[in-house]
Amino acid sequence: MKPRDREPGWLAGRLYCNPEDQRVIVKRPRSGFGYTMNFGNWRTWLWQLIFVLLAAGFIGLAAGRGPA
Over the stretch 2-58, which tens digit does the pLDDT of each residue have? 555 567 888 887 889 999 999 999 988 876 688 999 999 999 999 999 999 999 999
pLDDT at 37: 93
Q: Are strands 10-11 and 15-16 parallel, antiparallel or unpaired?
A: antiparallel
Kindly report the pTM of this predicted structure. Answer: 0.71
Q: How far apart are CA 55 and CA 52, in angstroms?
A: 5
